[in-house]
A and B are shown apart, each in its own frame.
Chain A
Amino acid sequence: MKKIWIIAVRELKTFFDSLTAYVLIIAFLGLSGFFTWLFGSDIFLMGQATLQPFFSVAYWTLFFFTPALTMRMLAEENKTGTIELLLTKAVTDWQVILGKFFACLMLICLALALTLPYYISVWALGPIDHGSVWCGYLGLILMSMTYISIGLFTSSVTNNQIVAFLLSLFIGVFFLIIFNVMSSNFTGQIGEIFSYLSLSSHFDSISRGVIDSKDVIFFLSVSIFGLILAELSLSKRNIVD
């Protein structure tokens, strides 16, 4: 556990040293603030004290921003060879993967925490459903976990950051849109499977304030699956062929 923390802290420091963190947080706050307060179906248009507009914007912005965070994680280490240095220290592959996972998660949580003034502002404007707000945040965090683990996996299979970025967008778009479209095209059991795989249905129900264990299990299982794949791809150097 301590090793995971050491790695996570180092990664987090690198985010801030390399300005990635600042750029990401500013872009995230700018975009989500713009669409929440000023443009499109914003809060004033809806005329309700709800953070729903923010959640639907964050749903999209995180889809693009998370791969931008994770693409560097393992691809760069593979490219520069620092992975060799890291893995010959007294750490396991899992500690490396989890350290990087938590570093990304912490940065996204920080970005989300900085949107709490939105919550307070809306709260000041009218009666707000606190439960659904916290559920929305939980939903965003769970969704980020899914994207991070997909991103870590794609970053582990290549040593090119752009490839890692595009590949994780490609995989992400299946969960975000394609499974949803498929589920409406198919009926019966197949349709249900696609519907279950679609990220949007799970996120919608959480952000409406309904925490169903089915949804939480979905996010966690996709995350864990992604991390396992990342670990496998990292340890493929050990495969005896």
Chain B
Amino acid sequence: MNIVVENLTKKYGMQKAVDDISFHANTGEILGFLGPNGAGKTTTMKIISCFMVPTSGDVKVNGRSILSNNEDIKKRIGYLPENNPLYYDMPVMEYLAFAGELQGIGKDKLHGKITAMIHTCGLNEEKHKKIGELSKGFRQRVGLAQALIHDPEILILDEPTSGLDPNQITEIRKLIRQIGKEKTVILSTHILPEVEATCDRILIINNGKIVADGTPGTLRKQSHGNEVLQVQIADAGNMDEVISTLQAIETIQMVDPLPGSADTFILQSEPGATSRRAVFNLCVQKKWVLTEMKPVETKLEDIFRELTKD
């Protein structure tokens, strides 16, 4: 199932929470929503999951608008809201049965689905407890289980790993990856490594607008076209001489000594050019010992900061 979001706008009073955004998500794709707090991630997800209608614009699921096919589309969506609200006074099994029944699972299949979900989400030992008695990690699993119980084709997860310990995070990510193979998954987070670990595509939202859209790889390329190298040269003698000699290489734009180090330099090449070969040749020629040369990758954190600063 593919989701197409067209010119979506949502205003709360005078404030535009989501401002004319358009994007699409395809089957088998895990789309990561990234953005600072209050960027409009949750609002967008609330609209896609049919909780509220947009001020203008539309969301089409398999070509059908959420405005007109509301109930039918809801059946195909599994939604885990922010902060994972649950009925704390209900036992896990009963709650899953309730969620399943509401999503239209027949009585005959219900028990099998619940058992399968409890197995998938690792809830076997907690299944008879009340949800309020569970730890946060297990509640999160219940939230995930209720979103998945009717085997939805679209999964919308608002910060699915918040409040989990590192082991649980790894498990949940694995689960999402596994699910994401056949379904359309949209997840939001502000944990950057999470996006890299789970998502096929990233959307960065800031102030209600999409500021970047692409795979982690393409985003890196877009934000820093220049090759950046970290080079360590031993036994070179005078540092200033090294810098000026390196600067003389045609493809190098800028040379900076690495702060706090006497023999390491950061080299920035001209756009589109590579200087690795030239640096190596220069060292050979000058009989400098090249002890380290590595490309510096732009971190997702840097891209994120660059795109979302005001």
Q: How far is the CA of A14 from the CA of B131 in the complex (A)?
A: 13
- List the A side residues contacting B52 at CB < 8 Å: 237-238
- List the A side residues contacting B82 at CB < 8 Å: 81
Across the two chains, which residue of chain A brings its CB closest to B54?
A: A240
Q: How far is the CA of A90 from the CA of B81 in the complex (A)?
A: 15
On whether the beta carbons of B81 and A84 are closer than 8 Å, the reply is yes
- List the B side residues contacting A3 at CB < 8 Å: 102
Q: How far is the CA of A3 from the CA of B98 in the complex (A)?
A: 10
With A81-B83, A82-B85, A241-B11 as known contacts, state yes or no: A90 contacts B98, CB within 8 Å.
no
With A6-B102, A90-B72 known, 17 other A-B pairs at CB within 8 A are A13-B94, A14-B89, A14-B90, A17-B90, A80-B85, A82-B86, A82-B87, A85-B85, A88-B49, A89-B74, A89-B103, A90-B75, A90-B103, A91-B74, A92-B70, A241-B11, A241-B13
Q: How far is the CA of A240 from the CA of B10 in the complex (A)?
A: 8
Over the window 181-212 of chain B, the binary record of Cβ atoms lying under 8 Å from chain A Cβ atoms (1 yes, 0 no) is: 00000000000000000000000000000000
Q: Provide 12 A-B residue pairs closer than 8 Å at the C-beta atoms, listed in order of the A residue.
A: A10-B90, A10-B98, A84-B85, A86-B102, A88-B50, A89-B103, A92-B71, A237-B51, A237-B52, A238-B53, A240-B53, A240-B55
A18 interface residue (CB < 8 Å to B)? yes
B102's partner among A80, A91, A238 (CB-CB below 8 A) is A91
- List the B side residues contacting A84 at CB < 8 Å: 46, 51, 81, 85
- List the B side residues contacting A85 at CB < 8 Å: 79, 81, 85-86, 146
- List the A side residues contacting B94 at CB < 8 Å: 13
Q: How far is the CA of A82 from the CA of B102 in the complex (A)?
A: 14
A90's partner among B55, B71, B83, B146 (CB-CB below 8 A) is B71
Across the two chains, which residue of chain A brings its CB closest to B158?
A: A84
Kindly list the 10 A-B residue pairs having the minimum CB-CB distance in the complex, ordered from nearest. Answer: A81-B85, A89-B102, A90-B75, A82-B85, A90-B74, A238-B53, A88-B79, A237-B52, A88-B49, A84-B81
Across the two chains, which residue of chain B brings its CB closest to A7?
A: B102
Rounded to whole Å, the gap between the CB of B253 and the closest CB of chain A is: 51
Q: How far is the CA of A91 from the CA of B72 in the complex (A)?
A: 10
- List the A side residues contacting B56 at CB < 8 Å: 240
Q: How far is the CA of A7 from the CA of B101 in the complex (A)?
A: 10
- List the A side residues contacting B11 at CB < 8 Å: 241
- List the B side residues contacting A88 at CB < 8 Å: 49-51, 74, 77, 79, 81
B99 interface residue (CB < 8 Å to A)? yes
B104 interface residue (CB < 8 Å to A)? yes
Q: How far is the CA of A18 from the CA of B55 in the complex (A)?
A: 40
A residues apposed to B, CB below 8 Å: 3, 6-7, 10, 13-14, 17-18, 80-82, 84-92, 237-238, 240-241
Over the window 91-122 of chain B, the binary record of Cβ atoms lying under 8 Å from chain A Cβ atoms (1 yes, 0 no) is: 00010001101111000000000000000000
Rounded to whole Å, the gap between the CB of B216 and the closest CB of chain A is: 29
A89's partner among B46, B55, B72, B99 (CB-CB below 8 A) is B99
Q: How far is the CA of A241 from the CA of B15 in the complex (A)?
A: 11
- List the A side residues contacting B13 at CB < 8 Å: 241
- List the B side residues contacting A89 at CB < 8 Å: 74, 99, 102-103
- List the A side residues contacting B146 at CB < 8 Å: 85
Rounded to whole Å, the gap between the CB of A76 and the closest CB of chain B is: 9
Q: How far is the CA of A89 from the CA of B90 in the complex (A)?
A: 17
Rounded to whole Å, the gap between the CB of B86 and the closest CB of chain A is: 7
Q: How far is the CA of A81 from the CA of B49 in the complex (A)?
A: 15
Q: How far is the CA of A237 from the CA of B51 in the complex (A)?
A: 8
Within 8 A of A (CB), among B279-301: none
On whether the beta carbons of A90 and B89 are closer than 8 Å, the reply is no
- List the B side residues contacting A237 at CB < 8 Å: 51-52
- List the B side residues contacting A6 at CB < 8 Å: 98, 101-102
Across the two chains, which residue of chain B brings its CB closest to A81?
A: B85
Q: How far is the CA of A88 from the CA of B55 in the complex (A)?
A: 18
- List the B side residues contacting A82 at CB < 8 Å: 85-87
